[in-house]
Structure 1
Amino acid sequence: MAAVPDPSPELLQRAAAVRRAAMDLGQRSDAERRHALEAMAEALAADAEAILAANAADLQAAADEGLAPALVARLKLDAAKLSGAIEGVRQVAALPDPLGRRQLHTELDSGLVLERMSVPLGVLGVIFEARPDAVMQIASLAIRSGNGALLKGGREASRSCAAILNALKRGLEGTAVDPSCLELLTSRQESLALLKLDGLVDLIIPRGSNALVRFIQDNTRIPVLGHADGICHLYVDAAADLPQALRIAIDSKTQYPAACNAIETLLLHRSIAPAFLREAIAAFAAAGVELRGDAEACALGVPHPAAEEDWSTEYSDLILSVKVVDDLEAALAHIGRYGSRHTDAICTTDEQAAERFLAAVDSAGVYLNCSTRFADGFRYGFGAEVGISTQTLPPRGPVGLEGLVTYRYRLRGEGHIAADYASGERRFTHRALPL
């Protein structure tokens, strides 16, 4: 990728305007921010035809350019997907207010009271490839949590993103929320220069390829929230219900193979591998999945041999690597070596094995007897998500409203000074008060 340029005076002005609007947004009431989202949803619904037409134009341009199938799948925005995204905006509006929550309330001494209150982060810089629906998700979460947002979609989604943001900003007109709190960046130079807007942008959220995320992480001083890889595993244990495990495996791979929470590797306990693959090979073939196996899996009928790099590859496509392992501990070792700490699952009826897996796998999501495709903010009840974080520090996993706020300590006194406590004249009480 290109070197990171300095922000232009025009970009600095636009970013400063977003920050001013965000400061005002953070002071808006719960009802005002809720009403703003409802107005945004109405505007999106009213502009649905224009948005879908813009997306059709983007899809045609993508076809002409030979865009990768995984990106085309993310780019496509049909009527059902748009309707679901609009409903997601309404769901975010209905969520409890994340701001102004008192997380700590302590009397340090008589008349000296400490509070910790949830407050907005400030301004989010979000860079994403394809995924025009991300504009709706991010904008709704940003405004509900009191944050401004600088949004940069991929060139392949430029028409869709512009149509969506026009609707969102039009919806905000006449509400208590300044439309200037949302801004769309349109050029590659602007997206690169965004990385140097420290002081104006408080958090960068990349959603895209491994190369994009790693480049951003390596070229900014602004905190970055996201994940570079989505290498998810499903382990089918010796005690698995095999028909159930096959349904879960098929769903985890094929329900939306371009998603970061689709499995890329299937691990099979040696004792059940023959019986499982006897049914699975045909089922995956019927679903259009290419299976690549280790030597033992190939001996059991998996048609293509896996190379070493397959275990660390995020296909984002209908390709699945298959490995036969000795036992649960071997599966855990494989996940520990090749996993990306995104989402990993086990199929088993053995409670002890299940608890061992759930405790030992250090991923943002660890599942038992269910599809990895549930790793999603909407499915978690967050209304939407700005992305998925695989870092150890919070927020982790699908990031919704709770991941877009920070906190501030407030201390109220009556002329208290530290010297009185240093001299022993006064003593702290540190008495917990009701939240």
Structure 2
Amino acid sequence: AKTGLDAPLLKRLDVEGSKFDGMLSKVDDVIAIADPVGQVSLATELDDGLTLERIACPIGVIAIIFESRPEAAVQISALALKSANAVILKGGKEAINTNAALVAAIQAGLGSLKGDAPPPRSVQLVATREEVSTLLGMHHKIDLIVPRGSNALVAHIMANTRIPVMGHADGICAVYLDAAADETKAIAVAVDSKCDYPVACNAAESLLVHEALLSSTWPAVATALLDKGVDLRCDPRSAKALPAGLAFARASQLSAACEADFRTEFGDLILAVKTVASVQEAVAHINSHSSHHTDCIVTEEAAAAAHFSSYIDSAGVYLNASTRFADGQRYGFGAEVGVSTNRIHSRGPMGVEGLLIYKYVLRGSGHIAADYSAGRRSFTHKRLSLTPEARSRWAEPKLLLALCAAAA
């Protein structure tokens, strides 16, 4: 390209046409979600007149650092406002003007609202590395950082801040074709996982093929992928199993895989292919090479599906479905801040609920702990049923707006 940027990056930066319409559609989806802040998720009677409730509340101020994808600024802002959080955005330098225009539009919209509306400063944008360095040191003011991008970006953020980090790193997703895979499903899932949107973090980057399929299903899957323009980097066994005529005709799309290929997010029509002897070997390979984002098995055997879903250590584990479903909107979350591969708080696509924590509210009437320590009173620990009215007891709109304003 004339800009010097590669094709996958240019595609990420584009917000015209259908991508712009999709960006607005995701905002509508977030608007349609029931207000989550202040919802009661647990109510327990500890004793007569002593009641404990667990209440959803915002995290506070969240800094989101993302590379390219300027539409992320709009999605993240919508989710932050819906969850009563304030947000500080830092996008990639390649989209600095687009990000500035989008955030200015959001701030103008907030400024036009009347009454107890979130202030425009609830959504802010920083642009320079110096500003990011300053943010990383603001552990007394910023409550969470979510870096969206490469492993290098996430590692840098984690190494240079005391603020909690919710990692969203590379999307190295795998599709495993089990010995009991249905050929039609194998072709559909493999092709969609790789080709639907190759630059996405939920696109497949590696394909594992059970050795029992090398002479049957694998050639058909390979042909379908090659027909879609995919370059296949094959291990020796999968390469040898391809029909000679196909290998000759598509020689320009075929090459030998190396170990590094199975740890690479290509972001393009490139797929690394490996042969395995069992579902156990597939699981071991995926767990040691993937980014723990989303991985899929295609199989008709319940035992293989159960083993895969139980032992794959990823945020998303799919059975006979494309990895491209790993998305907040497709999960019904409206949109997503990112896909967390962490093992605490939130994992997988982070929608509104991923931006909430909770607090415990205890209501008493002069109760004191000494009475229970001395045996004068005893706990009942009776779980209380939650009616719709009880669940939303604390979900007052003015409260939510006040929380967002305070965070800003």
Distance 1:431 1:350 in 2: 43
**1:325 counterpart = 2:276:** yes
For structure 1, which segment, 139-148 or 272-281, has the greater mean C-alpha deviation from structure 2 after superposition?
A: 272-281
Letter in 2 for 1:290: D
2:212 aligned counterpart, secondary structure: coil
Pick one of 353, 360, 368 that aligns with 1:417.
368
**Is 1:297 aligned to residue 238 of structure 2?**
yes
Q: Which has the higher helix share?
A: 1
- How much does 1:276 deviate? 2.7
1:201-246 alpha-carbon deviations (Å, 9 max, x no partner): 1111111122111111221111111232321110111111112211
CA distance in 2, matches of 1:315, 1:223: 29
Q: Judging changes above 3 Å, is the alpha-carbon distance between structure 1 residues 432 and 280 closer, same or farther for their aligned structure 2 residues?
A: closer
Q: Which amino acid aligns with 1:116?
A: R
CA drift of 1:154 comes to: 0.7
Q: CA deviation at 1:300?
A: 2.0
* Residue of structure 1 equivalent to 2:316: 365
Extract unaligned runs of 5+ from structure 2. 248-253, 387-408
Q: Tell me: higher relative CO, structure 1 or 2? Use CA pairs within 8 A at least 6 residues apart.
A: 2
The separation in 1 between residues aligned to 2:52 and 2:63, in whole angstroms, is 32
- For 1:133-152, what aligned pairs fall within 5 Å after superposition? 133-152=71-90
Could you tell me which amino acid in structure 2 is paired with residue 183 of structure 1?
Answer: Q
SS in 2 for 1:126: strand
1:340 aligns with 2:303: no
- The CA RMSD over aligned residues, in Å, is 1.5
Corresponding residue number in structure 2 for 1:226: 167
Moved more, 333-342 or 90-99: 333-342
Greater Cα shift, 78-87 or 170-179: 170-179
CA distance in 2, matches of 1:382, 1:401: 7
Contact 1:214/1:228, CA 8 A, preserved across alignment = no
- CA offset at residue 139 of structure 1? 0.3
| Structure 2: distance between partners of 1:316 and 1:174 | 40
> Which of 342, 355, 372 is matched with 1:404 structurally?
355
Q: How many residues align?
A: 373
2:70 alignment partner in structure 1: 132
Contact 2:146 2:168 survives alignment (8 Å)? no
Structure 2-normalised TM-score?
Answer: 0.88
Look up the match of 2:259.
308
> Partner amino acid for 1:165?
V
Give CA deviations for 1:81-107 in whole Å, capped at 9, x if unaligned.
Answer: 111111111110110111111122122
Which residue number in structure 1 is paired with residue 157 of structure 2?
A: 216
User: What is the SS of the residue equivalent to 2:216?
Assistant: helix
Q: What's the secondary structure of 1:266's corresponding residue?
A: strand
SS of 1:284's partner is helix
For normalisation by structure 1, the TM-score amounts to 0.83
Give CA-to-partner distance per residue, 1:377-428, whole Å, 9 cap, x none: 0111111000001112231100001111111111122122222222222222
Which of residues 84, 101, 124 in structure 2 aligns to 1:183?
124
Unaligned runs of 5+ in 1: 1-62
| Greater alpha carbon shift after TM alignment, 65-74 vs 151-160 | 65-74
Mapped partners of 1:208, 1:247: distance in 2: 28
1:89 to 8, 24, 27: 27
Amino acid at match of 2:255: H
SS in 2 for 1:392: coil
Amino acid at match of 1:157: A
3-state SS, counterpart of residue 177 of structure 1: coil
Amino acid corresponding to residue 365 of structure 2 in structure 1: E
Tell me the equivalent position of 1:429. Answer: 380
1:123 is matched with 61
Once residues 176 and 278 of structure 2 are traced to their aligned partners in structure 1, the CA distance between those partners, rounded to angstroms, is 10
Q: Residue deviations 1:85-136, cap 9 Å, x none?
A: 1111111011011111112212222222211111111011000011110011
Query: Partners of 2:264 and 2:8 in 1: how far apart?
Result: 14
Q: Pick from 258, 267, 273 the counterpart of residue 214 of structure 2.
A: 273
Pairing 1:15-30 to 2, within 5 Å after superposition? none
Shift of 1:432: 2.0
In structure 2, what residue type is equivalent to 1:415? G
Q: Could you say what secondary structure the match of 2:224 adopts? A: helix
Q: Secondary structure at the match of 2:215?
A: helix
Distance 2:207 2:313 in 1: 18
Q: Which amino acid aligns with 2:50?
A: L
Equivalent residue in structure 2 for 1:114, among 39, 52, 67: 52
* Contact preservation (8 Å) 2:209, 2:218: no
